[in-house]
Amino acid sequence: MSPLISITNDHDICFALRHQVFVVEQDVPVEEEIDELDKLATHLLATEKGLPIGTARVVYQGDIAKIGRVCVLKSARGTGLGAGLIKAAVQIARDRPDVSKAKLGAQLHALGFYEKLGFSVDGPVYLDAGIEHRDMVLTF
**Structural domains present in the chain:** 4-139 (3.40.630.30)
- SS3 state of residue 84: helix
Burial of 46 (0-12, 13-18, 19+ CB in 10 A): buried
23-68 pLDDT, tens digit per residue, is: 999 998 998 899 999 999 999 999 999 999 999 999 999 999 999 9
CA atoms in the 13 A half-sphere facing the CB of 76: 24
What local confidence, expressed as pLDDT, does residue 130 receive?
A: 85
What local confidence, expressed as pLDDT, does residue 129 receive?
A: 83
Model confidence at 14, pLDDT cuts 50, 70, 90, reads very high
- Torsion over CA: 55, 124, 24, 73 (sign): positive
